[in-house]
């Protein structure tokens, strides 16, 4: 293992939903440690902004316009990623959407949309990455990191977000199975479970005084998380230091779940 445990020079990270929020935190964390980064997202403006931002760290950065719920688009985008970078060492399947509403009124359309992005999208993405990492291992270059963004919503009974919670629970199960299936090729698979993190997805809720007054006092760290809280875990999981750490579900929540 290298002297600098978290040196990512020469490694390539692929981060879906890396143009904003938690995914951008992952991207900044690995770029600061020298990794090259490929970001996937649908919004061209956010994609362009992230290329400029990550460029500051001296990494090679490329953004791909990809809707992860579109299987063909994911296959095409993964091929483009390999064309640009030659390899993928760590794949963060992080794109996600949330829909809330009373369960008995929740539409099938909204249920499908949440599953299409949060679960099917993660499956399409990680399938490409796992195949690539296994092929590389069989060619004498083992290793690889599969990371799925789950949520505390997978563990806690969060009323009115049943579809979201179900999709995120499935992420944990999938990462555990991948950990077992791909260990022989030196590939690890882990889930990250963010708590209450201030991003585009949550900012309206947090601006609501009633919501903030109910939740904030229950966070032992006494603040919402922000994207910078995800830099360290991304660098660790991409690094050789985490090579024997697999099948885990890592809470990044300021102590919320325990309290």
Residues 6+ apart with CB under 8 A from 208: none
Chosen residue from 77, 94, 188, 239 binding ligand NAP by CB under 6 A: 94
Coil, helix or strand for 138? helix
Listed in sequence order, the DSSP H helices in 86-208 are: 108-115, 121-138, 162-182, 203-207
Is residue 233 close enough to count as binding ligand NAP by CB under 6 A?
Answer: no
Residue of 193, 175, 168 whose CA lies nearest to 252: 193
Q: Which stretch binds ligand NAP (CB under 6 A): 2-10, 39-47, 54-62, 137-145?
A: 39-47
If the CB atoms of residues 29 and 96 are measured against ligand NAP, the closer one turns out to be 96
From start to end of the chain, where are the E strands? 12-16, 36-41, 61-65, 90-93, 144-149, 187-194, 249-252
Distance between start and end Cα atoms, the chain = 37
Shortest Å distance, C-beta 79 to ligand NAP: 17
Which tokens belong to 28?
A: 């900044």
182 is catalytic: no
Q: DSSP class of residue 249?
A: E
Cβ 104 to ligand NAP shortest distance, Å: 23
- Residues 8-27 interacting with ligand NAP (rule: CB under 6 A): 16-17, 19-23
Candidates 124, 164, 206, 236; catalytic one: 164
* Three-class SS state of 14: strand
Residue 134 or 231: which CB sits closer to ligand NAP?
A: 231
95 interacts with ligand NAP by CB under 6 A: yes
Only one residue has tokens 């399938």, namely 127
Site string for ligand NAP, 105-124 (x = CB under 6 A): ------------x---x---
**Given the complex with ligand NAP, which of 156 and 180 has the nearer CB atom?**
156
Residues making contact with ligand NAP (CB under 6 A): 16-17, 19-23, 41-43, 46, 66-69, 94-98, 117, 121, 149, 151, 194, 196-197, 199-202
**Residues taking part in catalysis:** 164
């Amino acid at each position: 293992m290298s002297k600098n445990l978290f040196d990512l020079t020469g490694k390539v990270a692929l981060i879906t939903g890396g143009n904003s929020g938690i995914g951008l935190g992952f991207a900044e964390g690995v770029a600061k440690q020298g990794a090259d980064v490929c970001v996937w997202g649908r919004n061209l403006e956010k994609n362009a902004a992230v290329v400029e931002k990550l460029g500051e760290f001296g990494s090679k950065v490329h953004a791909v316009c990809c809707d992860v719920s579109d299987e063909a688009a994911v296959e095409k985008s993964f091929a483009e990623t390999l064309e640009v970078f030659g390899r993928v060492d760590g794949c963060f399947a992080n794109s996600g959407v949330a829909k809330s509403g009373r369960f008995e009124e929740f539409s099938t359309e909204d249920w499908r949309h949440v599953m299409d992005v949060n679960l099917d999208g993660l499956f399409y993405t990680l399938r490409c990455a796992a195949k690539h990492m296994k092929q590389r291992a069989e060619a004498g270059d083992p290793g690889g990191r599969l990371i799925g963004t789950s949520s505390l919503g997978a563990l806690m009974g969060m009323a009115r977000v049943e579809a979201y919670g179900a999709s995120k629970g499935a992420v944990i199960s999938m990462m555990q199975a991948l950990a077992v299936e791909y260990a022989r090729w030196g590939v690890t698979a882990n889930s990250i479970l963010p708590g209450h993190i201030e991003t585009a997805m949550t900012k309206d809720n947090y601006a609501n005084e009633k919501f903030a007054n109910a939740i904030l006092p229950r966070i032992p760290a006494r603040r919402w998380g922000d994207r910078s809280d995800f830099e360290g875990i991304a660098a660790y999981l991409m690094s050789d230091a985490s090579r024997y750490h697999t099948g885990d579900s890592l809470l990044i929540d300021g102590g919320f779940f325990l309290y």
